[in-house]
Amino acid sequence: MDNKTLLDKLNSLSIEEKIGQLIQLTGDFFEGDMDTVVTGPLKKLGLSASYNVYNTGSILNITNPEKIIRLQTDYLEKSVHKIPLLFMADIIYGYRTIFPIPIAQACSWNYEGIEHAASVAARECYEEGVHVTFSPMVDIVRDPRWGRVMESPGEDTLLARKYAQSVVLGIQGRNVESTAVPANKIAACVKHFAAYGAPVAGREYNAVDMSEHALREYYLPGYQAAIEAGAKLVMTAFNTLNGIPATGNEWLNRDVLRQEMNFDGVLISDYAAIEELIMHGYAKDEASAARLALLAGVDVDMKTAIYANQLENVISGNVHMLELLNEAVYRVLKLKNDLGLFEDPFRGLQEIVKLPTSSILSDDHKKAALSLAEESVVLLKNEHELLPLSKHTKVALIGPYAEENSTLGMWAIKGEETDTVNLKTGLLKHVDPDNLTVCRGAYMMPVHARKNLGKYADKLAAETIDEEVLLQQAIRNANEADVIVLALGESIYQSGEGGSRTNPTLPEPQLKLLHELSLLGKKIVLIVYSGRPLILTDVAEKVDAIVQAWYPGTMGGEALANILYGKVNPSGKLAMTFPRSVGQIPVYYNELNTGRPNLKENGTYRFASRYIDEVNEPLYPFGYGKSYTSFEYSLLTLSPKEMKTNESVDIRISVSNTGTHDGKETIQLYIRDKFASVARPVKELKDFKKVFLQSGETKIVEFSIDEDMLKFHGRGMEYKSEPGEFDVYIGSSSQEILLSFSFIFLPEDKHE
């Protein structure tokens, strides 16, 4: 449908029908006769009894293909203008084939693999009739107390940009020049706009209070990258930003998102966020909430009655508000057109359901999930090269995650535990059953703490065995083994949305188990399942090896076993810093320097920016991750040491695998601007290269620093570079710097 036809379609709609296109409901509004609907879902949501559900624009979280066909068919039969429904769903990191959670994916530093994972999810969604997924989430996060760390790409702006771009291209396809979404692809929705990942004290839905400089410098670039990759939708955030709720923030959504970032797609509210403008104390009533949201450019009201009940009165007699309504409806119609729904409201689904096979959970898809899981795992500790294990080693697999299939994370809404490879199953592919004993050893979490999980408490199995019985069985198994593999972690329901924690550590029953086993004098390999960096400071002293598994997805148990037994050499690098204690939070590598930095040469000098009761460095820094092999870096060439406009500093280094295992190394390049018109971070990641090296192999790795890498937001928020001296650090993490040098940037117009 061309643009003129689309505008004709828009102009043919009544005000009531236009408003309907901005409403998102769930499928139960279309079930049964209208009398049932009026007394059921319409009444529950607060929609007026006169609301015509057959004007509705989109449906939330219906993923059954037969039901989608039935709903679309019924809708088209009963609607006047035959504008197809959009079906949207929370498919964040996999449909049925579940990949590692996003924070884990970011630890792979493999963005081709991340793009492929997103393309797998998109294809499975396409085959099930989903049109839009609410992914990627690209909120920068520096506080592991926040529950939604699991959905984030971590603390770094470069990684967030790359993650955003990769996921959007995987979901929508690589032809950014075309507005059409091809077959096997769906529409991506980047979220949450903006700065949702920086709530005060890490508390879910809390206010965000930050400078405009920090917002532009660190938080906005991830969203911008998704938009540049063609993301069709943006979702508003729940939080206030400097006192203004994001969903009603006209400056944020119109000035920044629409004008500066050139976003012309659909802006959708998060779940009930328009209604929550009242709870924020920003809108005095529903009519005010509708007005403020439309003024702010919000096109779709997700799951409230605000637009449906209030917009008609809000726009009555107001030419400007009517124009805004027409703009919003046009964007929704254009999205439907880009998805090809006017030509085929089912996007091929009627033919797909007749096919004898599908790609869902196919061998190729599970292979992709396995590969990304293997690269997402981070080896944090490996004393005396305990890992990899020998298949002849007698192992006691102990812990709540030993046989747990619930390792998909909270947002794998279509993932099935029965499809998941658990750790025990994975280990049995490498070790003889006679060399493996398995037991739980402890409860997942204290029974009394379950009440804090709300409705999710019922999802945890009832505890029917006494804790002391579990512990004694674990001690017996451990005493008969050569090595203990201890599978611990937070429950998936302690993480995710609404899962903020004041003290993100391993649950108390598991800490007790770990302590008792550490007294036996056995070698211990700790596997940590979590949706965030946990505080492992005391734990690390009691074990010989630590493997950060995150929530690794459908193939997680096999991936972990491949690493434990050396079939795969771990290569993950942290995308988020692990603090030593809660008191360090928020902690991140690219902090600003202070007038009194904590320099090593100052020792215990009191009047420096430091804590006096704790080591000031994090437990495990950003970019950190060990390998079963060792790598050596050497600088070959650097040219030139003075850079002018349109020039670059070109670097060639030699990287050698000096160990006995083949492996992958991620070489990281950081830059520090030594002097500028605003304070600059102590270092910033600007580039990286992940290379595979066989044992004994050497490769040449090249980097090129250009002017764009030196730009930042100045005092007036202008994005620019400045002349000056820059330090360059190359290493295997943000703290493990192996090469360093300096260069001068002297633009030609400043050069004399």
Residues recognised as catalytic: 270
Cβ atoms < 10 Å from Cβ of 433: 9
Which 3-state string (H, E, C) describes 328-397?
HHHHHHHHHHHCCCCCCCCCCHHHHCCCCCCCCCCHHHHHHHHHHHHHHCEEEEEHHHCCCCCCCCCEEE
Q: 682 CB contacts (<8 Å, ≥6 apart)?
A: 589, 590, 591, 592, 593, 672
Single-letter amino acid, residue 342: F
For 329, the token pair is 């409806």
Cα-flanking dihedrals φ and ψ of residue 158, to 5°?
Answer: -65, -45
Furthest CA-CA distance within the chain: 82
Output DSSP code: residue 110. Answer: -
Question: What phi and psi, each to the nearest 5 degrees, are found at residue 253?
Answer: -90, -30
Asked whether 102 and 137 are in contact (CB, 8 A), the reply is yes
> Residue 287 and residue 535: Cα distance in Å, rounded?
46
Q: Which phi and psi angles does 67 have, rounded to 5°? A: -70, -40
Length of the chain: 752
Q: Which amino acid is it at 317?
A: G
Its sign, for the CA torsion 582, 583, 584, 586, is: positive
Query: Is residue 642 exposed (0-12), middle (13-18) or buried (19+ Cβ within 10 Å)?
Result: exposed
Q: Is residue 703 within 8 Å of 669, Cβ to Cβ?
A: yes
CA distances from 432 to 436, 473, 564, 614 (A): 7, 21, 15, 45
Buried b (16+ CB within 10 A) or exposed e, 467-497: beebbebbbebbeebebbbbbbbbbbbbbbb
Compute φ and ψ for 21, nearest 5 degrees: -65, -20
Question: What contacts 140, CB < 8 A, 6 or more positions away?
Answer: 152, 153, 154, 155, 156, 157, 160, 195, 197, 198, 218, 219, 222
Q: Could you tell me the CA-to-CA distances from 742 to 54, 173, 639, 649, 670 in Å, in that order? A: 65, 40, 11, 10, 12
- 642: which residues sit within 8 A by CB, 6+ positions away? 743, 744, 745, 746
DSSP string for 228-249: HTT-SEEEE-SSEETTEEGGG-
The span from the CA of 146 to the CA of 203, in Å, is 6
User: Do residues 652 and 637 lie in contact, with contact meaning Cβ atoms separated by under 8 Å?
Assistant: yes
Rounded distance, CA 534 to CA 620, Å?
11
Residue 670 vs residues 119, 352, 576, 685, 728: alpha-carbon distances, Å = 31, 48, 16, 4, 6
